[in-house]
Chains A and B, each alone.
Chain A
Amino acid sequence: MAETREFQVFRGDRSGGKMETYPVEVTPGMVVLDAMHRIQATAAPDMAVRWNCKAAKCGSCSAEVNGKPKLMCKTRLDALPADRPVEVRPLRTFPLIRDLVTDVSWNYEVNKKIPPFTPKPGAVWRWKQEDVDRVQEFRKCIECFLCQTVCHVLRDHQKQPVFNGPRFFVRLASLEMHPMDGLDRLEQIKEKSGLGYCNITKCCTEVCPEDIRITDNAIIPLKERVVDRFYDPIRVLFRKIFGSASLTKPE
């Protein structure tokens, strides 16, 4: 009953590497990460794989399976075509460390530059479920960085220096729309985060394992807020005439 399938896994480091083929005995219900563990336990004890929870909750095990960015612990083997080997590669957008492990530290640097949650002065901490719902969607993010790796602005154009990427638009949205947050973040969002580089083509939304509707619920609403402040000609004019207090943050 044990069936064997072929896996092609990238082995190597910054100085180079190649795809290695490993036959793996598979059992029903197995996920790609199980197969990687089996390879580690038998053929290649030193194969580098990053993982933690094995339950799609921590976002560590991101890799490109058959060319698509995925969580290995959530990708069932029976969902992959059986007639060809399963290809597993490290995330392409981030610098390789070794085998399937990449250096995602850039993301942590970006996060550090986003001003933290800052409560409104004199905030009364009473707020309702309907306020919470919208922000909670963003806070589901498990920081798997699949959206970062698939976004063409980072993946194909390496705009890292000027573009924060979808993960951080989600983070910015969670702060900007937080009912208790008192910072005015629009300047930062427009100028520093590079929101304008996103052309809303939704690849990030397609790969998000937490089903966060990144483009529709985070990016586009942020773009609209930026329009309010910087592009809407009538509002801009209005603000010029009546001072910046009007029409900035409707409270």
Chain B
Amino acid sequence: MWWLEPLAVALGLSAFGIYSFWAALQGDHYAWGPYLSPFYSPELFGNSSHALFGPPPSWWPAAFSMFGVELHIPFSPAFLILWAPLGFRGTCYYYRKAYYRSFFQNPTACAVGKPWKSYCGETAFPLILQNIHRYFLYVAIVFIAFLTYDGLKAFTREGPKDYVAGLGSVVLLLNAFFLAMYTFGCHSLRHLVGGHLDSFSDSASSCTRHKIWSGVTCLNERHMMWAWISLFWVGFSDVYVRLVSMGRIADLRIF
């Protein structure tokens, strides 16, 4: 039954990939009142009230030509930002393990043999680029700030002064929380906050760093769990905002 886990991982990742691609293409129904789908946050340019720099830019081409074929892809604010979470998760040490195993069969599972003859690991292009993971981390931390802002703003459904919790507010705040748990358990972060030190006790600052490092380590031990929870929740948040904004369901008011 060793193939069960890689299969489940492959299905999970594919399902998310397909849905998020579809959702990003829509360019619509990503916001409702103060709610903003995390696939679209931060919204740099767009037609919703969340757009930071106004409406879609005029320089965005109406059509791309690829191999001589004209592709008409309508503008979607998601395109401008999705590279960041995608790159972050794509170079994440956990997801690397997950897709090397389940998609690349490298290896599919332990001690079961594999279909490839040659192998160069992460020593050569393109996989050597995985080493820039920490730059995606920097961006991801900025995103956490935006998503937290979104999560808090989501409590202003009934006007900026009235704090009201809809189900959506909770969903979006949890989304920011789960993403933070995932992001702050990152291996690169663990290295940057203190892992690079050899001694944790030789100065006052290294003691503080040891505390932060221990905190990151604690999250890092459950990095896989947070990776999946946050992945699922991001998708779910988008589904929720989408359904509410399409009017399919009504946002439940909690208090």
Contact = CB atoms under 8 A, between A and B. Distances in A.
Q: In their complex, do chains A and B touch, with some C-beta pair under 8 Å?
A: yes
Interface of A: 64, 67-69, 92, 127-128, 130-131, 149-150, 152-153, 155-157, 159, 176-179, 181, 194, 196-203, 206-207, 213, 215-216, 220-221, 223-228, 231-233, 249-251
Nearest to A163: B121
Contacts of A149: 111
Given A128-B201, A179-B199, A225-B191, A200 B96 contact: yes
B93 A200 contact: yes
B114 interface: yes
A196 B131 CA distance: 10
Contacts of A68: 110-111
Contacts of B101: 201
Given A216-B220, A224-B188, 16 more contacts: A127-B199, A130-B200, A149-B111, A152-B119, A176-B198, A179-B198, A196-B121, A197-B120, A199-B127, A200-B97, A221-B190, A224-B190, A228-B191, A232-B131, A250-B196, A251-B198
A231 B132 contact: yes
CB-based closest 7 A-B pairs: A197-B121, A224-B191, A203-B110, A196-B123, A128-B201, A179-B199, A231-B131
A138 to B, nearest CB: 13
B195 interface: yes
B172 to A, nearest CB: 31
B196 A207 contact: no
28 contacts: A67-B112, A127-B199, A131-B200, A131-B201, A152-B106, A155-B111, A156-B119, A178-B198, A179-B198, A194-B123, A196-B122, A196-B123, A197-B119, A197-B122, A198-B121, A200-B93, A200-B96, A201-B106, A202-B97, A203-B111, A207-B110, A215-B97, A216-B187, A227-B188, A231-B132, A232-B131, A232-B132, A250-B196
Contact of A152 (B114, B122, B188, B199): B114
Contacts of B200: 128, 130-131, 179
Nearest to B195: A221
A183 to B, nearest CB: 11
Given A130-B210, A221-B191, A224-B187, A203 B198 contact: no
Contact of A199 (B110, B121, B197, B220): B121
B103 to A, nearest CB: 12
A64 B201 contact: no
Given A131-B199, A225-B196, A153 B111 contact: no
A47 to B, nearest CB: 23
A202 B106 CA distance: 11
B107 interface: yes
B191 A198 contact: no
A181 B121 contact: no
Interface string B192-232: 00011111111000000010000000001100000000000
